[in-house]
Amino acid sequence: MSPGSGKTMVARRIPTLLPDMTRAESLETTKIYSAMGLAHGLIDTRPFRAPHHTISTAALIGGGSSPRPGEISLAHNGVLFLDEFPEFPRAAVEGLRQPLEERTVTIDRIHGALRLPASFLLVAAANPCPCGWHGSRARECTCGPAAIERYRLRLSGPLLDRIDLQVYVRPVPLRELRRPEPGEPSAPIRARVAAARDRQLARLRPWNLRCNAEMPSAVQRATCKLDSLGERTLADLVENRRSFTARSIDRLIKVARTIADLIGQDDIDAGCLLEAAAYRDVDPTADFVPQVL
């Protein structure tokens, strides 16, 4: 995102769109905060954690000489916002891989490993270049081509493969920020999200799962049926996007399932799949690097 596109404002709004915490979620999150001496009573609102990019790997992932939960566990059942994502230390970013797949983190200790919950919604934001103005008409970018290339390379690879929704956000002109008519308020969006979550809960109850993101492959195959045009569309997408891995196809289907849930549809049709694919349509080598959200 370019400077001035309001990324922190967007990120902070996300927890307000999520359903209320269930009793079980409240207890899980409170337990982690209690272990850190940070809980004052039951935590019943979803956490929003936004650590700075100078954070150490141990503080982000967990661990250290006397092992403590990291920011990813403090964000359990909530949102972890990493602004200036490419500036985070490589080791810390690599450390996000396992938790993003397994929703838990394993911390090595002298006497055996410790497993902590770390099921969070990752929101990562990046500028188009180190100074932030590449591709903007408002101001000139002062970065050289080599610096831009290095910056973009940090965004590519296996971690990007685990980010399901990648959105490119242009700076918002001041006159639009001052526009009298506001965008859609949180309440109706929240109601749509809650209805979609209810559908997921009902469908996934036999497996004791709460939402689409938690589905292992076997459950996904059993519950995410594509109609015949959907099957053909998926085959075309895989054929045309060489960068699709088995993992990204799995994740694509989960996002398509969620889109179908949001519009109250039983089957995943071609439209849901194409919309899900559009959120993966990010090419870090493109002239103007899209932002990761």
Of 190, 250, 258, whose CA–CA distance to 218 is shortest?
250
The binding track of 105-144 with respect to Zn ion, each residue x by CB under 5 A or -, is ------------------------x-x--x------x-x-
Q: CB of residue 176 vs Zn ion: minimum separation in angstroms?
A: 23
Q: Is residue 87 a contact point for Zn ion (CB under 5 A)? A: no
Residue 169, φ and ψ in degrees, nearest 5: -120, 125
Give Cα separations from 60 to 37, 110, 177, 194, 211 (angstroms).
Answer: 17, 20, 34, 29, 25
106 strand-pairing partners: 115
Q: Is residue 150 a contact point for Zn ion (CB under 5 A)? A: no
Q: Is residue 152 a contact point for Zn ion (CB under 5 A)? A: no
Q: CB of residue 62 vs Zn ion: minimum separation in angstroms?
A: 34
Question: Is the Cβ–Cβ distance between 229 and 237 less than 8 Å?
Answer: no
Distance CA(171)–CA(149), nearest Å, equals 22
Cβ distance to Zn ion smaller for residue 143 or 255: 143
Cβ distance to Zn ion smaller for residue 127 or 166: 127
Half-sphere exposure of 233 toward its Cβ, with a 13 Å CA cutoff?
18
Cβ-based neighbour number of residue 151 at 10 Å: 21
Q: CB of residue 140 vs Zn ion: minimum separation in angstroms?
A: 8
Q: CB of residue 2 vs Zn ion: minimum separation in angstroms?
A: 10
Q: Is residue 289 a contact point for Zn ion (CB under 5 A)? A: no
Q: CB of residue 50 vs Zn ion: minimum separation in angstroms?
A: 23
Binding site for Zn ion (CB under 5 A): 129, 131, 134, 141, 143
